[in-house]
Structure 1
Amino acid sequence: MHVTRRRRRGLLALAGLSALLVTASAVPATAATAQPRDADPLQRAVDAVHDTGVVGVAAEVTSPDGSDSARAGTAALGTDRRMPPDGRFRIGSATKTFTATVVLQLVAEGRLSLDDTVERWLPGLVRADGVDGREITVRQLLQHTSGIPDVLPEADALLTADGYRSDRFRTFTPEELVGLALRQPLPETEWSYSNTNYILAAMIVHEVTGRSWEREVTDRIIRPLGLADTSAPGSFPFILGPHARAYTGFGTDAAIDVTLLNPSMAVGSGSIISTTHDLNRFFAALFDGRLLEPAELAEMTATVPAPDLGVDYGLGVAEIPLSCGGSYYGHVGELLGYRALAGATPDGSGTAVVYATGDGDRGTQAAMMALVDQELCATGS
């Protein structure tokens, strides 16, 4: 897409673009080994993430032998408050895995087909030069092969400090977001990450069920799994319960507290709030078969190349190589001051989630990838 560097940065902050998904071979071998040798391996990996300049970091991992967690940094700038042991945070694009799961549950119930067109459920909504909902399927939405442009909130909202201050409480409707997206340039490649795809998927869930995407996610995933610290907040701008503050510099050296945010611009694509513990439970349940039937889980994990990311992408999950051989399924997430990575082994027996607050630097993503790689490789050893 032809966007300016500032706009591209804003897309990452707003939407949790999966540009953080890189192959394990691209992760520096020393990324998680910078601390004293007698330190716990998970703590070393968390410290390595913190050393890239983020404010706070927390991680939790699970395996057949139990679970482990580690923290580094502070929960708020200018304080010595430790990161909360199970703090809540905006999970960004890891929300897409929840949305894809709901859609695939509806497929299993015979209420929807992956081969249904967008036009069938949202007649007339997706029509623009080079984009036609009559030719785009639900599968293509979830797979990011629809050719629909990504959405940019108008007037640089949330891309600058002034935009954040003026629009942090603004409510966007899904229809408004789709309209904004259709005014953007078309992607230049067949596979192109677009948050608009998942906004449309959320709208289709509403049309199929007669209930909001938020309610379906809650009733189908959050409540059955007992994810007590997870929520789909709609337009509610606050994070309730223990949480670390979120910060971004909007491309400058000044860190601004951006914890307050109306996440309506990310419905279906990035708005869920959760914890490392709850995300581990979700990914374990997803891949051990508690949420999807085998046929639908096979659809989710049937991947296509995502050349720009160096990985393969299925329906709401990426398949990411492990340095020890094999691969895991997971998703990155980033939403204005929070960034995360969640992953699980193909059978769900091992999971790892890490999140950080603040912008960090170019090494932050590599250190997070190294942590998940290290822990999931250990699960299989």
Structure 2
Amino acid sequence: MGNTVSDSKVKAALAATVELYYRTNKIVGIIAGAFPAGTAGTSNYWLFAEGTMRGPNSTPPDRKTMWQLGSVTKTFTATLLAGAASEGRLALDTTVQSLAPSGAVIPAYSTYQGTTEIRLLDLATHTAGLPQDPPNVPAGGYTPSDMYRYLRGYALAVRPGEGWNYSNLGYGLLSNVLVNLDDLKGYGALFDELKRKGKFELPDTVLDPKPEQRTRLAWGYDATGARAPWRTVTWPAFDGSGALYSTIDDAMVWLSYNLGALSSPLDPPASCHSGCLLQGSSECHGARMAVLSARRRTGHVPGQRRIDQRLQQLCRLGPRAGSGGRDPLQQLGRVASNSWSGNAPDSHASPATGQVKPEDLSG
């Protein structure tokens, strides 16, 4: 970046872009961060902020303002999947049915030629054939038991792995399967394990903000200008799809890790690369499944067979020259935070997720 255009010009262009987005869309507030050339992994990032935290006459957002991350949460869930694969507790091509709670029925695609089941990799890459969201979600919330009841009656229209459709439901299912794998109470406990194992300094990245953090929370607004609810009605079943909160400071740390600029105990050995995870190798962790999950909703994603082929190629080739010894899939990251997310602290509700009982899955 610095070789052809000065950092000052790049910074000015980014600032103008953020301001234009803010004014054109008439949003309440927005914040963005960017690393100057060669500074990823440091705290010396550029900060761009417009508007306010909570409507007219409130304070501007800053580095410690809490935002609802929305679907950036999916990058953490995908990393949890990669971690479980690297530890040899599962493989990316493990069927979801084999890890689902007792009594749960995961839809499969059946023809006279045979049956294709949904794999974990299908969920992580939005190629499972599941819809974006379940219809008719009750106002009182959507529990894991509600989700499994819906899946029991859902019929796949396409073979898993052959078509792309952005799916919050898919990531809700993926996160709940991972919670069930570790016999934890919910996604919050699973996410805390990720931070502990990875030694990530993310003090403000949480599922349920503490009282002090709520004082720093940016409020969300709907299209009519009304305050949006703090928690969407699909939680807690979809906590792993979009429920985390964070600050731009924490988000830039996470971005640095995904760019390969920060190390962690979760890093793979130098000989490890992403294709190993298809076989659930206990020696590898490096693939950032976040790269595979963070696709644009309108973008084209190749069929699962092509994804598998690419991963197999990476397994044979190993880390690319010029990538600092890191897996090529680690080299992409993205952070986006704005006040469209919707987070009103006075509507806080945190229903217990709990473990799903077999009797809850019938009917």
TM-score, normalising length: structure 2: 0.64
Q: Give how far 1:138 is off.
A: 1.0
Aligned position for 1:99: 77
Is residue 2:131 matched to residue 1:149? yes
User: Is structure 2 residue 163 aligned with structure 1 residue 190?
Assistant: yes
**Structure with the higher strand share, 1 or 2:** 1
Aligned partners of 2:258 and 2:332 also within 8 Å: no
- The gaps in structure 2 that reach 5 residues or longer are 1-8, 275-285, 305-326, 342-363
**Whole-Å separation in 1 of the counterparts to 2:122 and 2:201:** 31
How many Å apart are 1:119 and its aligned residue? 1.3
> What residue in structure 2 maps to residue 332 of structure 1?
none
Deviation of 1:219 after TM superposition, in Å, equals 2.1
Summarize the alignment of residues 242-281 of structure 1 with structure 2, pairs less than 5 Å apart. Answer: 242-249=216-223, 254-261=224-231, 263-281=235-253
Please say if residues 147 and 190 of structure 1, whose CA atoms lie closer than 8 Å, have aligned partners that are also in contact: yes
- Equivalent position of 2:298 in the other structure: 309
Structure 1 stretches lacking a partner, 5+ long:
1-36, 158-166, 316-344, 360-381
CA distance in 2, matches of 1:50, 1:240: 24
Provide the residue aligned with 1:225 in structure 2: 200
CA apart distance, 1:48: 1.3
Q: How does 1:261-340 map to 2 (within 5 A)?
A: 261=231, 263-288=235-260, 290=264, 291-293=266-268, 294-296=272-274, 297-298=286-287, 300=289, 309-312=298-301
- Given the superposition, is the C-alpha separation of residues 353 and 306 from structure 1 closer, same or farther in structure 2, using an over 3 Å criterion? closer
Contact 1:47/1:72, CA 8 A, preserved across alignment? yes
Structure 1 pair 260–225 and aligned structure 2 pair: CA distance change class (3 A) = same
The equivalences for 1:13-32 within 5 A come to: none
Q: Tell me what 1:113 maps to.
A: 91
Q: Does 1:51 align with 2:23?
A: yes
RMSD (Å) for aligned C-alpha atoms: 3.9
Aligned equivalents of 2:211 and 2:228: distance in 1?
11
Deviations 1:300-357 (A, max 9, x none): 3785997962254899xxxxxxxxxxxxxxxxxxxxxxxxxxxxx9697896634222
Q: Residues 261 and 120 of structure 1: is their aligned pair in 2 closer, same or farther, counting only changes over 3 Å?
A: same
Describe the SS at the equivalent of 1:60. Answer: strand
Do the aligned partners of 1:227 and 1:278 also contact (CA within 8 Å) in 2? yes
TM-score (structure 1 length as normaliser): 0.61
Aligned residues of 2:29 and 2:339 also touching (Cα < 8 A): yes
SS of match in other structure, 1:232:
coil
Decide which of 200, 205, 211 is 2:173's aligned counterpart: 200
- Which letter maps to 1:260? W
1 CA distance for matches of 2:118 and 2:132?
Answer: 15
Provide the identity percentage.
23
Q: Give the match for residue 215 of structure 1.
A: 189
